[in-house]
Structure 1
């Protein structure tokens, strides 16, 4: 296959012609047509099936300003607690749990906890009162099924994590089935009632419920995992002369536990939610809420925690523009032109709103599955200014806010969504238009792909080589190393660890000259046949998976922008679904690529017969300049240098290997972020930039603005 060399994009006549119709002056914005909400819902953790899955067993919330906790259910919302500044509260499912140990020794409990925390984030110690004493239960939870908890319990008992510690009870599976007493007029009364159940050797916790839309205190007694355990619990409670009922399983509640979660033995209020309950944390000031499990990031707006599809879900409900402060700053670089930042703000706002509640309980998620959202710490002054300057503005086509997809770098030309990416038909996306994306390449040096006398092939920065004035035995020019201890790297980038270091004056044979590796122009590989076969087969349909050894890999179809639409392996078409899936299958930044098959070549033997590799199997006998024959192939890792009839030298391999060259980063549809910067640098305003990348669309502003 052809090995294409890429050079940084210039502002071509075609690009200039396409932009000529766009004014440098801002156009009028249409008011009233778009319906832009004030807030947006962002799923940070949730199980939403194939669309998104990011799971945690507990959510740890805190705020420098303090928080107000609100309990919500189908009966309404009601405040239940005020959290002090800096205090952490934890929220978890009231599900099934593996109770590994119960002890009166807090240090022993913490010791076992530390062992469990080495391999799970779901371990905790609960402090409670039983038979007049304070005891500590070490457990892992909350699982959505008893079987999952039983499996965890088996693992911990088998590992002997509680070995040497005398337990007050037998290790067991606990569950969310409990008896209920109350309601009580105050938390104090509920705590006293919980102690009475504890004196009867029954675990008991204060809980909150809604009654008539108002929060009340109750006690939930017991941790039964099934109906037989619940029946036994009822007998124990009745024998102790205590009154409690079996509540309907659909009644929402939140249990308050005191859990120890660190080696210091500090307790944190833990709220365990029933399947129908939801807890909302509202910040008391401007400093936002920290979610420890998301890299300790702090977010504006409220945090909602609930159970969804059997797992804990955390949703950030936040002012739309405040959400965009972080998105714009997370998606593009600080210091970029203001018009590029504004273009990103409008595109991100449109994208976020275009699909409605696309994630069941949220509009978007916080990763690049939607768009990057990293909380308050990511915000920049430029991003905030861009969002506020475009507040309420969205891209509209056909009376609807468009799904304004964007990518990092289009590699000089945007994609055609009909044939090249997801095979859609969205007329608002400009197709195969040139994009000034070469920014990452600016100021970068070219690199030489070169061969050493040992046969090793690697890359050397161009400023570290000079013409030696000499040629080798094949009459090929030689370059000499001009510096000392020069890095000879496996790829054209400083981030690649050197293969070796070269001394000043060493001679090398130049094979190629390529741009430095960036998100605009890049080279990946070489990949072995087995590496690519494994990666491709993970994504290929069963009927089209590669069988046997991967010998050849050819691009046999490209769309209008030059992106891959079809690839054949060993002469047969491989189906990976939408063409954009080739990015994952090949492990590349984009699908604007070419594939060099280094093990594919033709050689004329001494008998004049032409042998096509790799169609011909077996080893290859090569006669060197010294007259000695060498065997190459059959598993040999040696490089082979092929001189074409036109005098071009090529590094080949006797066994199938593959080098992929390409341009761009991302799917390439819609706005290119680097292209937006390039257009802004040329003086175009954000409206012109958006109209360039989103065809047949208008920019409209919410009528309420």
Structure 2
């Protein structure tokens, strides 16, 4: 019996091993058959792109690059990649579209040219100064614009002439339109030969620029003569150039590619070479760092970036794209998106979410995968990197979130306000398959260490907020039962909402001993809890009608929340009793003046019910003046906009005699997917990044890049 008893478990163990092997095989087979996720080596980030009307547009007339380690420039097109030049360490190089410009002034004095430029820069970022040699003299052309048409540049000429931009200048050339039409001399054996030929032609009074030009995969240098607005004058210009000694002078065929080299002195200091590429071209110039240092892009807040910069023309506008190692791109993104001091597991969670989001984007911006703003992910270059963000990226290298074998759209926001949003019902609409809608989120972090504020009534009748460390309980109470506070600091500020702002003057400053009636006690303004300043009906009506599909007829008397989604976010509002249609739920933020989130309340300070002995009156639905009976029995009309009333529960409430609106809420952002502050909260509670990600992206799988 004993032997038989021992033998039976052995048989069961063998059977169990067989079953486990079969289950493992069944589990492994589908994964082996499915194509693994592939994270590319590089990503393309758009800084300046014009994708067309009603699409992404970030436009610059010029791009200015430099690198502490120097740069190498190359020419790229569908068939070739050719070296162009080297840029010494610290030296600037500029790029522009060779389109139409308004010649505002031409002068022999750089100081005069700089004075004209300063006038242009007061209202335009497209002013430049080009230095060239004509008839043996150095002249300076002050131009404005990068226009796609001659008509646009002509209108600019009229504008600047009427504005007197070149007043007091003795012009060498009257204001006119400069364009990309030119004749061509050459080719020449070297850049030096082309420059010598250009100087010879310039001495004959012609406007000349050396140009880099690839022909059949070979780099050539030519001289472009003229800056004409159309082809009408090219035949005569060709004759003049030939008579001045130009070699093989010709009119280029439409679509021929080139990069004209101009001497740019817009900075007024050291001259820089400006490469002007044709508006209709399909080629690009690429700048790569010659050393370990990054490339500084002056037009992007003088930030420095890893990788290369690619300059081209897209939709008649200059395009600037940064091609950078995918993981190094994330060093900056994570450094911007979360604080350097945040826990390592929060850094890792952000790294995986950011990597996934960028991979999901594909080529969402035509010639770029993403852009550098929060429309994609904030990306500020090397200056935003830190050791912790880099470590978080490196620790999760290649890891992305998938659902049903596909990379998910791993959106995230700053702060969910305590609960994540339901995308389908509340934000953009669509599948919620991998978003954890309605998940409790530990987002209180921004509130930690902040003082509360008191909402108070002043003797003047005004109401505002004062920080709790500036007052003390007087031990007295108002006739309404409200607490009376006493100011303890001289010159204490009473503000329009509970936050210190140097940009907004306080409602009032009060001295030591001043008494204030407490109406409420609230948290300080933060990404977790916020109260916006009171808005007038006119301000809100303007904001609403910018987004409303059907304009709202004013005046705005009432504005109320009429529907909420599963997480409590507002999904519908009514203005004057009519539903306001602004499209998807998240659009309500912009429609109400740029709210932090849709998890909000609207207090209508001018809406209340007056209960009399014989009738009830709804304000503001029923007009007319408000009358009060004083202690002496006399009746008088209320004057001024502020008044204080007792609500149904006996609480003293600040109200207004005219419609007014105070919006308060929680959270910052759309609330879908991962809350960054929530990720920090979970990390501080001891959870790792995998738990955090699966908490916010339910049913998602973390997969490793198949490299």
Q: Deviations over 1:374-403 (max 9, x none)?
A: 111111000011111111111111221111
In structure 2, C-alpha distance between the alignment counterparts of 1:90 and 1:614, rounded to whole Å: 60
Partner-residue secondary structure (3-state), 2:532 = strand
Shift of 1:357: 0.3
Aligned with residue 196 of structure 1, among 197, 200, 223:
200
Aligned with residue 585 of structure 1, among 575, 580, 591:
591
Shift of 1:236: 3.0
Shift of 1:469: 3.5
Which residue in 2 is equivalent to 1:546?
Answer: 552
Shift of 1:235: 4.0
Partner-residue secondary structure (3-state), 1:173 = strand
Which residue in 1 is equivalent to 2:515?
Answer: 507
Alignment of 1:557-576 (within 5 A): 557-576=563-582
In structure 2, C-alpha distance between the alignment counterparts of 1:637 and 1:184, rounded to whole Å: 81
In structure 1, C-alpha distance between the alignment counterparts of 2:132 and 2:677, rounded to whole Å: 58
In structure 1, C-alpha distance between the alignment counterparts of 2:114 and 2:472, rounded to whole Å: 65
- Given that 1:73 and 1:252 are in contact with CA atoms closer than 8 Å, whether structure 2 keeps it comes out as no
Which residue in 2 is equivalent to 1:247?
Answer: 252
Partner-residue secondary structure (3-state), 2:36 = strand
Which residue in 2 is equivalent to 1:14?
Answer: none
| 2:127 is the counterpart of 1:123 | yes
Shift of 1:123: 1.9
In structure 2, C-alpha distance between the alignment counterparts of 1:299 and 1:476, rounded to whole Å: 57
In structure 2, C-alpha distance between the alignment counterparts of 1:452 and 1:102, rounded to whole Å: 63
- Given that 1:448 and 1:460 are in contact with CA atoms closer than 8 Å, whether structure 2 keeps it comes out as yes
Which residue in 2 is equivalent to 1:414?
Answer: 420
In structure 2, C-alpha distance between the alignment counterparts of 1:468 and 1:169, rounded to whole Å: 78
**Number of residue pairs the alignment of both structures matches:** 669
Q: 1:689 to 1:626 in 2, by over 3 A?
A: farther
CA RMSD of the aligned region, Å? 1.9
Which residue in 1 is equivalent to 2:14?
Answer: none
Q: Deviations over 1:440-471 (max 9, x none)?
A: 11122322212123322112233444443433
| 2:40 is the counterpart of 1:33 | no
Shift of 1:109: 2.9
- Given that 2:130 and 2:141 are in contact with CA atoms closer than 8 Å, whether structure 1 keeps it comes out as yes
- Given that 1:410 and 1:435 are in contact with CA atoms closer than 8 Å, whether structure 2 keeps it comes out as yes
- Given that 1:438 and 1:520 are in contact with CA atoms closer than 8 Å, whether structure 2 keeps it comes out as yes
Q: 1:230 to 1:325 in 2, by over 3 A?
A: same
Shift of 1:497: 4.2
In structure 2, C-alpha distance between the alignment counterparts of 1:201 and 1:698, rounded to whole Å: 70
Which residue in 2 is equivalent to 1:530?
Answer: 538
- Given that 2:106 and 2:140 are in contact with CA atoms closer than 8 Å, whether structure 1 keeps it comes out as yes
Partner-residue secondary structure (3-state), 1:411 = coil
Which residue in 2 is equivalent to 1:380?
Answer: 386
Which residue in 2 is equivalent to 1:76?
Answer: 80
In structure 2, C-alpha distance between the alignment counterparts of 1:271 and 1:226, rounded to whole Å: 21
Which residue in 2 is equivalent to 1:683?
Answer: 686
Q: 1:51 to 1:622 in 2, by over 3 A?
A: same
| 2:112 is the counterpart of 1:105 | no
Shift of 1:121: 2.4
Q: 1:166 to 1:455 in 2, by over 3 A?
A: closer
- Given that 1:51 and 1:359 are in contact with CA atoms closer than 8 Å, whether structure 2 keeps it comes out as no
- Given that 2:201 and 2:245 are in contact with CA atoms closer than 8 Å, whether structure 1 keeps it comes out as no
Which residue in 2 is equivalent to 1:693?
Answer: 696
In structure 2, C-alpha distance between the alignment counterparts of 1:75 and 1:671, rounded to whole Å: 44
Aligned with residue 227 of structure 1, among 227, 231, 242:
231
- Given that 1:96 and 1:144 are in contact with CA atoms closer than 8 Å, whether structure 2 keeps it comes out as yes
| 2:524 is the counterpart of 1:519 | no
Shift of 1:372: 0.5
Alignment of 1:93-492 (within 5 A): 93-240=97-244, 242=246, 243-264=248-269, 266-275=270-279, 276=281, 277-492=283-498
Deviates more, 1:487-496 or 1:167-176: 487-496
In structure 2, C-alpha distance between the alignment counterparts of 1:524 and 1:116, rounded to whole Å: 38
- Given that 2:150 and 2:177 are in contact with CA atoms closer than 8 Å, whether structure 1 keeps it comes out as yes
Shift of 1:268: 0.8
Shift of 1:626: 4.6
Q: Deviations over 1:675-700 (max 9, x none)?
A: 00000001110011000101111011
| 2:602 is the counterpart of 1:638 | no
Which residue in 1 is equivalent to 2:666?
Answer: 663
| 2:607 is the counterpart of 1:600 | yes
Partner-residue secondary structure (3-state), 2:237 = helix
Q: Deviations over 1:75-128 (max 9, x none)?
A: 311001001000000111111111223333334333333333333222222222
Shift of 1:472: 3.2
Which residue in 2 is equivalent to 1:59?
Answer: 63
Q: 1:113 to 1:479 in 2, by over 3 A?
A: closer
In structure 2, C-alpha distance between the alignment counterparts of 1:404 and 1:515, rounded to whole Å: 31
What is the TM-score of this pair, normalised by structure 1?
A: 0.91
Shift of 1:350: 0.6
Shift of 1:238: 4.7
Q: Which runs of 5+ in 1 are unaligned?
A: 1-27
What is the TM-score of this pair, normalised by structure 2?
A: 0.91
Larger RCO (CA within 8 A; separation ≥ 6): 1
In structure 1, C-alpha distance between the alignment counterparts of 2:122 and 2:298, rounded to whole Å: 18
- Given that 1:435 and 1:675 are in contact with CA atoms closer than 8 Å, whether structure 2 keeps it comes out as yes
Shift of 1:241: 6.0
In structure 2, C-alpha distance between the alignment counterparts of 1:319 and 1:670, rounded to whole Å: 26
- Given that 1:114 and 1:263 are in contact with CA atoms closer than 8 Å, whether structure 2 keeps it comes out as no
- Given that 2:601 and 2:665 are in contact with CA atoms closer than 8 Å, whether structure 1 keeps it comes out as yes
Partner-residue secondary structure (3-state), 1:688 = helix
Q: Which runs of 5+ in 2 are unaligned?
A: 1-27
Q: 1:567 to 1:33 in 2, by over 3 A?
A: same
Which residue in 1 is equivalent to 2:89?
Answer: 85
In structure 2, C-alpha distance between the alignment counterparts of 1:521 and 1:251, rounded to whole Å: 59
Q: 1:108 to 1:551 in 2, by over 3 A?
A: closer
Shift of 1:597: 0.8
In structure 2, C-alpha distance between the alignment counterparts of 1:214 and 1:437, rounded to whole Å: 60
Alignment of 1:13-28 (within 5 A): none
Q: 1:458 to 1:703 in 2, by over 3 A?
A: same
Q: Deviations over 1:182-204 (max 9, x none)?
A: 21111121112212322332211
Partner-residue secondary structure (3-state), 1:262 = coil
Q: Deviations over 1:603-641 (max 9, x none)?
A: 123x52110111111211122335443423xxx643121
Which residue in 2 is equivalent to 1:4?
Answer: none
Q: Deviations over 1:262-296 (max 9, x none)?
A: 234x3111111113131100001111000011111
Q: Deviations over 1:630-675 (max 9, x none)?
A: 423xxx6431211134322111111111111100000000000000
